[in-house]
Amino acid sequence: MIVESPLKPEQASFRQVIPAGDYFLKVIQAGETLRILDLEGNQAADTLFYNAHTPTERYSAMDTLREQGNVYLTAGSRLMSSEGNVMLEITADTCGRHDTLGGACAAESNTTRYALAKKCMHACRDSWLVAVTEHEELGLSKRDITHNINFFMNVPVTADGGLTFADGISDAGKYVELKAKMDVLVMISNCPQLNNPCNAYNPTPIEVLVWS
Ligand SMILES: [Zn+2]
């Protein structure tokens, strides 16, 4: 569902461009709004959310999909935690839908999906492992890297229930906006993937904006 935001970028309290292959970590306070902006189009922003105070409570794809009765995320979607609480709500979306079924790329998935020779290529799971290793104060480990959302990624479900990784439906300047319902730690891997048609084999930067 396409919903434009009334928020103006020049009034954002925080802005940062994240190059492809980098990670991004930030606590978003309850009531703040987070925008993820696809600067050049067809990029995938692989994202995890945690309760900022108790990170064992985290985003749950299965609870979110069951509660909304739909497999795609878009404006109106309420992102549920593993404890059944609403973490964030998508309040604006100019892309139309986002994936939470496909999972993040990893050395293992690169090997099985593409080729053994792709195993050593940089993947989202590596970026998250670097993030939690460089930020021991968060108390997170690889066990905490679970369900994620692939913002801007197109993983359509076929009529007979199949999953396909398809060419992206996002474009330069499209964005998704989320209002935090609790203090959340957001951890994004701006996907470095070179083998997936979702990003036209060309990883590009994204921008994160926050309004207080
Ligand atoms: Zn990835």
What's the domain range around 130? 11-211
Q: What is the mean pLDDT of the chain?
A: 93
Q: What is the distance in A from the centroid of ligand 1 to the CA of 193?
A: 5
Domain assignment present for residue 3? The answer is: no
Position 15 scores a pLDDT of 98
Q: What is the distance in A from the centroid of ligand 1 to the CA of 26?
A: 19
Q: What is the distance in A from the centroid of ligand 1 to the CA of 102?
A: 10
Average pLDDT for 71-84: 97
The label of the residue with tokens 């878009």 reads 74
Q: What is the distance in A from the centroid of ligand 1 to the CA of 11?
A: 31
Position 190 scores a pLDDT of 95
Q: What is the distance in A from the centroid of ligand 1 to the CA of 6?
A: 30
Domain assignment present for residue 72? The answer is: yes
Q: Answer yes or no: is pLDDT of 117 > 90.
A: no
Helices H / strands E in the chain, number of each: 3, 10
Q: What is the distance in A from the centroid of ligand 1 to the CA of 22?
A: 11
Average pLDDT for 82-108: 94
Position 17 scores a pLDDT of 98
Q: What is the distance in A from the centroid of ligand 1 to the CA of 105?
A: 4
One-letter identity of residue 54: T
Q: Which residue has the higher pLDDT, 199 or 105?
A: 105
Per-residue CA distances from 121 to 43, 64, 116 (Å) = 17, 31, 10
Domain assignment present for residue 6? The answer is: no
Please enumerate in sequence order all residues whose Cβ is within 8 A of that of 20, keeping only pairs 6 or more positions apart, or say none: 43, 190, 191, 192, 203, 204, 205
> Which CB contacts under 8 angstroms, 24+ apart, belong to 106-110?
110/193, 110/195
One-letter identity of residue 188: I
- Kind plus residue range of the DSSP H or E element containing 149: strand 149-151
Average pLDDT for 111-136: 88
Q: What is the distance in A from the centroid of ligand 1 to the CA of 192?
A: 6
Domain assignment present for residue 1? The answer is: no
Q: What is the distance in A from the centroid of ligand 1 to the CA of 87?
A: 23
Position 133 scores a pLDDT of 96
Report residue 79's pLDDT band, with 50, 70 and 90 as the boundaries: very high
Of 13-17, 105-109, 187-191, the range with the lowest mean pLDDT is 105-109
One-letter identity of residue 108: E
Domain assignment present for residue 4? The answer is: no
Of 25-29, 93-97, 101-105, 163-167, the range with the lowest mean pLDDT is 163-167
Task: Count how many domains the chain has.
Answer: 1
The distance from CA 201 to its chain's CA centroid, rounded to whole angstroms, is 18
Q: Judge residue 16's burial from the number of C-beta atoms within 10 Å of its C-beta, 0-12 exposed, 13-18 middle, 19 or more buried.
A: exposed
Q: What is the distance in A from the centroid of ligand 1 to the CA of 120?
A: 13
Domain assignment present for residue 2? The answer is: no
Domain assignment present for residue 45? The answer is: yes
Please enumerate in sequence order all residues whose Cβ is within 8 A of that of 173, keeping only pairs 6 or more positions apart, or say none: 37, 38, 39, 41, 94
- Kind plus residue range of the DSSP H or E element containing 112: helix 107-113
Q: What is the distance in A from the centroid of ligand 1 to the CA of 195?
A: 10
Q: What is the distance in A from the centroid of ligand 1 to the CA of 204?
A: 12
Domain assignment present for residue 189? The answer is: yes
Ion ligand 1: residues, Cβ under 5 Å: 46, 105, 124, 191, 193
- Other CB atoms closer than 10 Å to residue 161's CB: what's the count? 6
Report residue 169's pLDDT band, with 50, 70 and 90 as the boundaries: confident
Asked if 176 contacts 90 with a C-beta cutoff of 8 angstroms, the reply is: yes
Position 194 scores a pLDDT of 76
pLDDT digits (tens, 9 = 90+) for 133-146: 999 999 999 999 99
Q: What is the distance in A from the centroid of ligand 1 to the CA of 61?
A: 17
| DSSP symbol at 156 | P
